[in-house]
Amino acid sequence: MVSLSWRTAVTTAAAAFASVASAQTWTACNPTQRTDCPPNTALGMAIDVDFTQGAVNSFNPYGGTPSYSRNDGVSFTVAKSGDSPQLTSIFYIMFGRVEITMKAAPGAGIVSSVVLQSDDLDEIDFEWLGDDNTYVQTNFFFQGKTATYDRGQYNPAHNSQGQFIKYTIDWTSEKISWYVGGTLVRVLTVNDAGGEYPQSPMQVKFGAWSGGDSANSPGTIQWAHGPTDYSQGPFSMTVKSVMVSDYSTGKSYRYGDTSGTWQSIIAEGGKVNGNLGKAGTVTVTASAVAATNTGSAGGSVPVGGIGSASGDASGSNGGSGSSTHGSIPEGWVMKPDGKIVPVGAASAMARPPQGLLVATSLVTVALAAFVGCLA
């Protein structure tokens, strides 16, 4: 067995209360503040992970232990204060598409999250609140800036807790599109973002946490529609599958300077946008009615996404504010199903061993002879 070595960098985010004018967010190595940050491992391809087949080593568990089922896939269960199970990709994408088929967790104060987040704290989110089975919140952040809380929107997602729905984030250098079950619910263009457009390499994270935990700030509890009553649990978010397509190519992504702009990103061994136009398109079945801005809802979507109930909104004590750096070991490759295997194993797994081929041929001959005798 070959063990992968991970270097964990912890970031934190302040509570998302609508009246708060500013907050501080940290990262162990922020490329907009330092020039010696390690490069980000690039996906550089598309993978389609079926969690009903079990875990894959391209996603690292964090904040708890997800459980797996042949019927439903991977579950993220919040049963007590401090639970915030999630999976975090060891790879990054530099523009791309994420499609996740899932059920959100029920429960007042419980939050299900799908987060794309970069080392310089750019972020794109889906968030589901457990006391609302009809809407999903969409949000974005740029370099961790939280001077205003007018970026979030409530978008229709009927019966999000009772059925598996495919949610899609399609992110390019020009716009971000959010889809719910094939319905386009929101589009954000570069111009719409007013100079604060997410545009640096991002990890993919998803899981559940308790925004309504008493350890959180009043603003976070309010936003999550808490408080959380754990006696009504446990509360589980379930993910059947995830497809991730990187619109760029290469082995790793490196910040060329401290600007954090996409034009400054260097794709080592490849090209930024090198896969754009080759990864297929999103099938749109409808466009949704105008969404409601979260700014009027009392409390706002917090930066950082998946939080830790023992800390503050979005992980001030190790929630999704954490950035897990991993790498694909030398001599190993990523397979299209999201598994990392030794070079040569990918092609070997695609065909049966030679001995099995011989045995199969002998069985075929024997069966043919037996059928001939019966005739």
Catalytically active residues are: 123, 127
Q: Do 219 and 301 touch, CB atoms closer than 8 A?
A: no
Q: Do 206 and 242 touch, CB atoms closer than 8 A?
A: yes
Tell me the H-state helices in the chain: 218-223, 345-349, 354-374
Q: Which amino acid is at 220?
A: T
Residue 107 and residue 212: Cα distance in Å, rounded? 10
Residue 328 and residue 346: Cα distance in Å, rounded? 14
Location of structure tokens 């976070």: 220
Q: With DSSP H G I counted as helix, E B as strand and the rest as coil, what are the percentages for the chain, rounded to 5?
A: 10, 35, 55
Q: CA distances (Å), 91 to each of 151, 188, 201, 203, in order?
A: 26, 25, 9, 6
Q: Do 223 and 300 touch, CB atoms closer than 8 A?
A: yes
Residue 23 and residue 30: Cα distance in Å, rounded? 16
Task: Give φ, ψ of 360 to 5 degrees.
Answer: -60, -40
Virtual torsion, Cα 141, 147, 149, 152, nearest 10 deg: -10
E-assigned strands of 160-248?
Answer: 165-171, 175-180, 183-189, 202-210, 235-246
Task: Please choose, from the candidates 251, 230, 234, the residue with its C-alpha nearest in 3D space to the C-alpha of residue 330.
Answer: 251
DSSP structure class, residue 96: E
Residues in the chain: 375
Q: Do 124 and 305 touch, CB atoms closer than 8 A?
A: no
Q: Do 264 and 272 touch, CB atoms closer than 8 A?
A: no
